[in-house]
Structure 1
Amino acid sequence: MRPFPHQARRIAASLAAALAVIAGGLAQAEPAEAAASRIRLGNSADVGRATWSGPAFTLNGSGGIVSASMARAVDAIRGGTGSLDVVVLAASTPASGSRTPECDAVMRLSGINSCTTWTLTKPSDGNNSQANTDIRNAEFVYFAGGDQCKYAAWKSTSLRASVQSVVAKGGGSGGGSAGHHINSSVVYDACQGSITSSEALANPYDSYATFTTGMFDWPNYGDTINDSHFVSRDRMGRTMAFVARALKDGLTQGGRAWGVGVEEGGSLFIDKDGLATLSGADTYVVLGDHTPEKAVPGQPLTFTGFKIWRLTAGQTFDFKNRPTCGYYLRSVTNGVTDSNLYNGTPITSC
């Protein structure tokens, strides 16, 4: 019997790892993890100010800063006056180019006092005292692209509460790609590896479909599961599977789960009242509002009637008062989706 695609992929990965060990020699030591590093741009002293006007959030489909949405978040938090401090959190240093690409973009915006990049390479770095001091003194925390599993590992460290304190004082949070994932209330953490749509639909309990809960639960943004690089990597199917899993396993409240898939180049700015405005490429909100007809380990998914909102640049979505109309419907039957997942005629007579 030929292996399924995901089996073939994993077998190939295992063989590659084994060959690497043989080629490198069994006695070769693994490289040590780099120490936590800090690079600050702008003023050396933090802003001193008692009140802020957020919270505000930016959620990006790829890793980089989207200037339009970030500028709106900065202006919303500072209330149009003064300046603020930003911290960028990353789990690895860029392979080439600038070591601070996100801060480079942030420093070009108005209303910025400083931007500090912290590269934290191991879970215990989430307890780094200077990093936590910088976060707590900041007004916006941005999670860079990379590996959301490494971000999820900070859940049991001081860093989680430090980021929460920024939002609580009227600041903000955001991120792109992996940083987008970590800002939803249910996080697809990819700690066992990345899963494709075909794999997730064939078995929503695939070992690669792993989740972290209890990391962050931002105001007006509960019961969400974020996904990134959405259209270009054809991730609608896996978001459907994630939504079904969240419902079946009780990971969300009220019998509803909301997938939020942002395409590369797209960015949602979400204000303090939960109103999201899209800049750039498309975003999809995928609602599951009933128990899946079939979501069991080792079997393909069946779920009828996902409600899908497609947002284009300039459009809004109210996460505080979530709409009950304007969606199109798509279903999955025995792991096979309806056609034309990324476009449909909205239902307006709800």
Structure 2
Amino acid sequence: MALPSIAEAKVTRYRQGSSADVSRTSWNGPAYTMNGSGAIVPATMTSAINAIRGGSGSIDVTVLAASAASGSPTPECDVISGLSNVNSCTTYVLTSTQDASNTQVNTDIRNSEFVYFAGGNQCNYAHWKGTPLEASVESVVAKGGGVGGGSAGTHINSSIVYDACTASTDSATALANPYDRSVTFTTGMFSWPNYGDTINDSHFVTRDRMGRTMAFVARAIKDGLTSSGKAWGVGVEEGGSLFVDNNGLAILSGQDAYVVLGDHQPEQAVSGKPLTFSDFKIWHLRPGDTYDFRNRPTCGYYTRSVTNGVADSNLYSGTAVC
């Protein structure tokens, strides 16, 4: 691994692998990975690499972090660099919003074929909205590359981002008042093909986040944050990862995931009052299962409701209605 170099003040760059970028005119993505915790899941990362390269060549990867990791400064690249068909992996630690305008950062992103947002605090990533970095990441997807992330990095890749910029909420708080100060969103940042009207959540079962995702979905519909009048919460458990291909088909690896659809206006979602929302449609995905984000399914779900801030029991399991 190369020694860290400073491109500009506050920007730390680590490069592993080849010092020269791959040169190629076209790629076969986009491809995405949405991880329930910060770590790389080799199975879905390998799927993304292979989808992007289309059976030939190798790719360059850029990892973006807003804070330094404990232990190795490059935990994501340490894994990625050991996978087949990776030409290089570059880690950047960016500690201020201004760093998103750094010339070297944006050059490396645009020359890469996959960008991975590390775990941490998604509010730091939300502050990159409207910066050259946002446009650079979008250019990678547009050329047929890919994007992904873990934990906070998963949050930033949905079209409606729970940004946690005032505080981190939990299920009890969000259900008791979906307009609590801890429930804030960033919109108009990334909008990936086939992945519209989504709100990602992470550490899903371990931290009992079904209730807060239900509140996020209700808020998105009530506030008109979606293009369809519906909202899909996508919750991935720790160790789980969704690989989404260029046709919008997701396949799950590692641990369970859930898709939570709200398809009507909430019966009650107002500031200072508990949420009431009937019949969320919930798909429980297990490793190996698929979900089609381009042609979203109309069967295979179970339903759960929230009444005056109290959710039904057995939120994480149920019998499919069709």
Same fold (TM over 0.5): yes
TM-score (norm 2): 0.97
Q: Of 174, 181, 205, which residue of structure 2 is paired with 1:200?
A: 174
Q: Residues 267-346 of structure 1 correspond to what in structure 2 (within 5 A)?
A: 267-346=241-320
Partner of 2:97: 123
Q: Which amino acid aligns with 1:229?
A: H
Deviation at 1:88, TM superposition (A): 0.1
Partner of 2:57: 82
Q: Which amino acid aligns with 2:33?
A: T
TM-score (norm 1): 0.89
Alpha-carbon displacement from aligned partner over 1:130-175 (angstroms, at most 9, x marks no partner): 0000000000000000000000000021000000000000000000
Deviation at 1:36, TM superposition (A): 1.0
Question: Is 1:181 the counterpart of 2:158 in the alignment?
Answer: no
Partner of 2:13: 38
Partner of 1:67: 42
Q: Gapped runs of 5+ residues in structure 1?
A: 1-33
Secondary structure of the residue aligned to 1:154 is coil
Structure showing greater Rg: 1
Q: Which amino acid aligns with 2:161?
A: V
Secondary structure of the residue aligned to 1:156 is coil
Q: State the Cα RMSD in Å.
A: 0.6
Deviation at 1:247, TM superposition (A): 0.2
Q: Quick one: distance in 1 between partners of 2:188 and 2:78? A: 31
Q: Of 71, 75, 80, which residue of structure 2 is paired with 1:101?
A: 75
Q: Which amino acid aligns with 1:235?
A: R
Q: Residues 223-242 of structure 1 correspond to what in structure 2 (within 5 A)?
A: 223-242=197-216
Q: Quick one: distance in 1 between partners of 2:93 and 2:189? A: 19
Alpha-carbon displacement from aligned partner over 1:169-212 (angstroms, at most 9, x marks no partner): 00000000000000000000000010000000000000000000
Partner of 1:20: none
Q: Which amino acid aligns with 1:154?
A: W
Q: Quick one: distance in 2 between partners of 1:238 and 1:254? A: 21
Q: Quick one: distance in 2 between partners of 1:49 and 1:253? A: 35
Secondary structure of the residue aligned to 2:317 is coil
Q: Quick one: distance in 1 between partners of 2:218 and 2:100? A: 32
More helix by share: 1
Q: Which amino acid aligns with 1:260?
A: V
**How many aligned residue pairs are there?**
314
Partner of 2:321: 347
Q: Which amino acid aligns with 2:40?
A: I
Alpha-carbon displacement from aligned partner over 1:303-338 (angstroms, at most 9, x marks no partner): 000000000000000000000000000000000000
Q: Of 32, 37, 40, which residue of structure 2 is paired with 1:57?
A: 32
Q: Which amino acid aligns with 1:165?
A: S
Alpha-carbon displacement from aligned partner over 1:218-259 (angstroms, at most 9, x marks no partner): 000000000000000000000000000000000001210000
Secondary structure of the residue aligned to 2:129 is helix
Q: Quick one: distance in 1 between partners of 2:254 and 2:284? A: 13
Secondary structure of the residue aligned to 1:59 is strand
Q: Of 136, 142, 150, which residue of structure 1 is paired with 2:116?
A: 142
Identity of aligned residues (%): 71
